[in-house]
A = this chain, B = another copy of it.
Amino acid sequence: MKPIKAYRKRVQYYETDRMGITHNSNYFRWFEEARLDFMDQSGRSYLELEEMGIFMPIVSESARFIAPTRFYDEVMIKSKMTHYNSYKCTVEFEVIRLNDRKLCTTGEVVYAIVNQTGKPIKLSKDFPEIDSYYNSLINYQSEEQVQM
């Protein structure tokens, strides 16, 4: 597998609020952006999974806000799948401001693995190839991107 680069983005104007900082709810959207990009780079887009009948709704999620980000800040978002067991997986995220390498936000999201009707599925049994794919990504840390 070729190296997976950390996701990069700029804070958009519409993502800020009247306090002049990124609204807290948007970090959960960025975690989603980062995870989708991670999967895409690893060779299995989430769209492809949904088309196979695999859906991954969120069971729980949390974030800790260490420092705010502001309009037009460039950030890097690292993702690492720390746990996977055929039924669900956990991904940890770090949002790092690029100009000073400040860790601004950390987060954790737990995903269930279900079919289109929301019933749990067991990847090792129902989709062994996807199960191997997930197993190969455990604790894989996306790489930093120093240059945009």
B21–A13 touching, CB < 8 Å: no
Interface set of A (CB-CB < 8 Å, partner B): 10, 12-14, 16-21, 23-26, 28-29, 32-33, 36, 45-47, 55, 57-65, 68, 70-72, 118
A72 to B: closest C-beta gap in Å: 4
A105 vs B118: C-alpha distance in the bound complex, in angstroms? 17
Q: Can you name 13 A-B residue pairings with CB atoms under 8 Å?
A: A13-B18, A13-B36, A14-B25, A16-B17, A16-B18, A17-B18, A24-B61, A25-B32, A36-B72, A45-B72, A57-B68, A58-B65, A61-B62
Residues of B within 8 Å of A58, CB to CB, are 24, 65
A72 vs B58: C-alpha distance in the bound complex, in angstroms? 19
A75 to B: closest C-beta gap in Å: 15
Secondary structure class of chain A's binding surface, majority of residues: mixed
A73 to B: closest C-beta gap in Å: 10
Given A16-B18, A25-B26, 11 other A-B residues pairs in contact with their CB atoms under 8 A:
A12-B33, A13-B17, A13-B46, A14-B23, A16-B17, A18-B70, A24-B28, A59-B64, A60-B62, A61-B63, A68-B118
A29–B25 touching, CB < 8 Å: yes
B71–A18 touching, CB < 8 Å: yes
A59–B55 touching, CB < 8 Å: no
Q: Which of B18, B25, B64, B65 is close to A18, meaning CB atoms less than 8 Å apart?
A: B18
A14–B14 touching, CB < 8 Å: no
